[in-house]
Each structure stands twice: as C-alpha cells, then as structure tokens.
Amino acid sequence: MAYYFTSESVSEGHPDKIADQISDALIDNFLAFDPESKVACETLVTTGQVVLAGEVKSQTYLDVQQIAREVIQRIGYTKSEYMFDANSCGVLSAIHEQSADINQGVDRQNKEDQGAGDQGMMFGYATKETEDYMPLALDLSHKLLQELAELRRENKDITYLRPDAKSQITLEYDDNNVPVRIVTIVLSTQHDEFIKPDNNTAEAKKASEKAMQKQIENDIKSILIPKVLAKYPQYKYLFENAEAIEYLINPTGIFIIGGPHGDTGLTGRKIIVDTYGGKGAHGGGAFSGKDPSKVDRSAAYATRHIAKNLVAAGVADEVLVQVSYAIGVAKPTGLYINTYGTGKVNLTDGEIAKKVKELFDLRPYFIEKNLKLRNPIYSETAAYGHMGRKPKTVKKTFTRPGGETKEVEVELFTWEKLDRVSDIKQAFKLL
C-alpha cells in the first residue's frame, strides 16, 4: 500500500544548531591541543546570552568565550537587530572537571580495555534510496537549507535572508517502497523586514507582511529550487509534476524574530535531524559536545559505517544496525541487524549479525582508532547531519590563549567511507 513519509532539517542558524556548533567547536579545540581530552559540553543560547556547561578532563586551557563568539560570527549572527550577535552577547562558562567515578570506567592502563563512557544503545542505518545511502526526504531537506544558506552568504539573488531556517519534505512511496513524488515542501526562513508598511495601521502592516510572504515564496520557487536541481539533477524526476507539489513557505506569515531571540537553543535537541530523519531508529543519545569515548557518538558513527558498507556491498537494500553497551565495559552487550526483508544473501538477520561481529571490532578503543575519532573533526558534523556527508581531508588551524597555534590535517566523516565493501563481499561470498 502506498504511503507518505516526512523528514525535516534545520539550518546552521537554528538556535539548537547554534548550540550544537558551539559545543563541537569546544570539542575540536580541546582535541587539537590534547587528543586524550575527555569532554562533555552543553550549550544554551537565548536572547543575548550563551551559557556553557559540562565536564572536561584535559591538559590544555582554552578561551571558551572566544571560541563561542567565533562560531556565532561564522554562522552569521553579526547584527544587533538580531538581538543575538557575536560581539555583544554575554558568554557564561560553567565548565568543570569530569567525574572521577566516570573516568575510572573509561581510562585503562591497557588502552584496548577502554570502557564505554555510558550505557545505552546506538543505531546505524543505510538505504539504497540515494547515492549517499540516506533516506531521500531527509537528504532533500538538508540540501534545500544548505543551498539557502549559500544564497544568504552570497547576498546577491536574495538579499533579505537571516540565519534561522527550517525545511520539511513529505514524499509519496509506491507499493514497492520506492519514492515517486514530492507531496509537500515546507520551508520557513527568517528574513529582514524588507517591505515596510505604508503607515502604522493594522491594514498597512498586514499588507506589507503579505507582500513579503509572496516575495519569499516566489524566490524559493524561482531561485532556490532551480539552484538545488542544478546541483543535484538526480532529483529532477521528483519535481516533474510541479503543479501537484504543495508549497508551504513561511506559513505563519512573517519570520523576522528568530534565532536565539525567538527560541532558546540547547545542545542535542535535533538528534533526528542529525541522523536519519525518522527512518531506521535512534537510541536517544545526542552527539554534539561529546568526545569519542562517549559511545552515544562514536558507536552511532560505527554502526552507520557498518550499515552503509553492508548495503554498498549488496548484502541488503536497507539495513539497521544496533549495538549496546554497559558503562565501563569494553565489549558490547549486544549486536542486532535488521534488513527489513531486503536481504540479498541466503542468511537470516541473526546470521548476518554474527558475521558482522567477526568483521568489525566494536570495542570503544577500536572504534576510535579505526575511524580516527580522536581528532578535531566535529565542527563540520554539527549542522546538516552527521550522516550521509562526503569524506574528505582538510587542514584546520587552532589558536589558544598566549597565541599558540596548531595546524592539523584531518579526515572528516570517516564513517562514511566505503572501505570495508571488499571485506564484506568476501565474507558473504558476494565476489
């Protein structure tokens, strides 16, 4: 039976994503100067204020206020009328030392025995729906906002955009579980008051609001959508019946008050946006602000790596991987595989899981080592999804108080590499 499925995304200027980006910038700076740092940092942003809290064990000292301001500046909160800007917002730090009780369960004399930083279950997912092995509705939602942010930074074709934005895509699937068309596109973008009312009457204000909304809707359809399709032509088929697509653009009317002035933002409050848009499953643990000893983060990356390589190798068209841990214990307490009946090998899901366990070492130390997670690679994950991104090598420069700088070359999104496909094909006799 055909059905609809919806996923959403939020921009880098969304309050919760500002918080995620600040928390991950702190992680990167700690790891750049002390790769053995243990960090769990939470951020709260609201009107004119940033609050940093959390636990840290590190041999380095950072100017956390300056790091937070640099992130806010980069995102684009640079004007006083936003009621939240990089230069004037207050930054309060309440970061303190990590609990010794937790640390004793993680740090071990033999690094291979490193325990999990917490209990819990983590999920990885992959599907053949897109070239990135990601769910299509989420992939499109991310891409709309990435291109909208590019238009904002260019400030040429559309000149009124502010940093806060959200998108949402509803797709129709056919009886074979294949996406066939876009049903609805929802997009809300913060904007300047670029059409002023003729006077102070309620009628004039309403008329200006209506004119702004009409202009924004027209620009989304005539500028943003063509820009997305030019960059991602593989999605043109979804827009062929354009008249049947329902557009809900800034459906409340205007969106001038936004960002942390419009809503308080907190680290870790967009975990479905960060992962699979509601497809597959989620263990409930957030990623941003956590160093890789926290399996909420590292094991979620490891299970995505497994799921993606399994699908790419042809084991199944859709795969969900679950792993679970006890705090302070290195060996996972469980491993589960679900292929949703799409398996291409003559094995049960339980038998597939048994082979996966032989192929992949899911002890925390080996996840960190194999995916190169003790590097400053996390700022890039904190907006537009942790999964489905392109692996690449970049050089990054960090500065700490006293003027000391450090340049490092790192691999980003290592869990997205298809580097185990041949091993899997051999193990499952798919060569």
In this structure, the answer to whether residues 320 and 415 fall within a common structural domain is yes
Model confidence, pTM: 0.96
DSSP 3-state of 103: helix
Provide the H-helix boundaries in 34-163. 64-75, 100-106, 136-154
In this structure, the answer to whether residues 329 and 253 fall within a common structural domain is no
Range of the domain at 361: 120-127+293-427
Residue of 90, 75, 96, 77 lying closest to 21 (CA atoms): 75
Tell me if 36 is assigned to some domain.
no
The predicted pLDDT at position 173 comes to 96
In this structure, the answer to whether residues 210 and 312 fall within a common structural domain is no
Q: What gap in Å lies between CA 32 and CA 282, rounded to an integer?
A: 29
Tell me if 147 is assigned to some domain.
yes
Strand partners of residue 161: 191
The annotated binding site for K(+) is made up of: 42
Residue of 232, 224, 69, 253 lying closest to 152 (CA atoms): 224
DSSP 3-state of 422: helix
Q: What gap in Å lies between CA 287 and CA 62, rounded to an integer?
A: 21
Among residues 257, 276, 311, which one ends one of the domains?
257
The annotated binding site is made up of: 14, 16, 42, 55, 98, 164-166, 263, 269-270, 286, 290, 294
The annotated binding site for L-methionine is made up of: 55, 98, 263, 294
Classify burial at 264, counting beta carbons within 10 Å of its beta carbon; exposed 0-12, middle 13-18, buried 19 or more: middle
In this structure, the answer to whether residues 333 and 229 fall within a common structural domain is no
The annotated binding site for Mg(2+) is made up of: 16
Tell me if 55 is assigned to some domain.
no
Tell me if 368 is assigned to some domain.
yes
In this structure, the answer to whether residues 233 and 341 fall within a common structural domain is no
The predicted pLDDT at position 108 comes to 57
User: What secondary structure letter does DSSP report for 115?
Assistant: P
The DSSP H or E segment spanning 173 is strand 161-173
- Find the length of the chain: 431
Inter-axis angle of helices 349-359 and 295-313, nearest 10 = 110
In this structure, the answer to whether residues 244 and 308 fall within a common structural domain is no
Tell me the two tokens of residue 424.
């899997």
The annotated binding site for ATP is made up of: 14, 164-166, 263, 269-270, 286, 290
Residue of 306, 210, 311, 195 lying closest to 253 (CA atoms): 210
In this structure, the answer to whether residues 248 and 179 fall within a common structural domain is yes
**Residue 112 burial (CB count, 10 A):** 12
In this structure, the answer to whether residues 244 and 328 fall within a common structural domain is no
Tell me the two tokens of residue 226.
């063509």
In this structure, the answer to whether residues 248 and 297 fall within a common structural domain is no
Low-confidence ranges of the chain (pLDDT < 50): none
The predicted pLDDT at position 431 comes to 80
Tell me if 170 is assigned to some domain.
yes
The per-residue pLDDT for range 205-226, each reduced to its tens digit, is: 999 999 999 999 999 999 999 9
Tell me the two tokens of residue 294.
């926290």
The per-residue pLDDT for range 380-403, each reduced to its tens digit, is: 999 999 999 999 999 999 999 988
**Residue 239 burial (CB count, 10 A):** 16
What CATH number does residue 182 fall under?
3.30.300.10
**Residues 6 or more apart from 313 whose CB is under 8 A from it?**
420, 421, 424, 425, 428, 430
The DSSP H or E segment spanning 80 is none
In this structure, the answer to whether residues 247 and 311 fall within a common structural domain is no
The predicted pLDDT at position 269 comes to 97
Q: What gap in Å lies between CA 178 and CA 171, rounded to an integer?
A: 10
Residue found by looking up tokens 């790091």 in the block:
67
The predicted pLDDT at position 106 comes to 65
The per-residue pLDDT for range 239-272, each reduced to its tens digit, is: 998 899 999 999 999 999 999 999 999 999 999 9
Classify burial at 315, counting beta carbons within 10 Å of its beta carbon; exposed 0-12, middle 13-18, buried 19 or more: buried
Report how far apart, in Å, the C-alpha atoms of 131 and of each of 228, 262, 328 are: 16, 36, 37
In this structure, the answer to whether residues 310 and 240 fall within a common structural domain is no
**Residue 253 burial (CB count, 10 A):** 10
Tell me if 274 is assigned to some domain.
no
Tell me if 96 is assigned to some domain.
no
What is the 3 state secondary structure string of 35-67? CCCEEEEEEEEECCEEEEEEEEECCCCCCHHHH
In this structure, the answer to whether residues 228 and 166 fall within a common structural domain is yes
DSSP 3-state of 412: strand
Tell me if 364 is assigned to some domain.
yes
Q: How many domains does the chain have?
A: 2
Among residues 257, 274, 309, which one ends one of the domains?
257
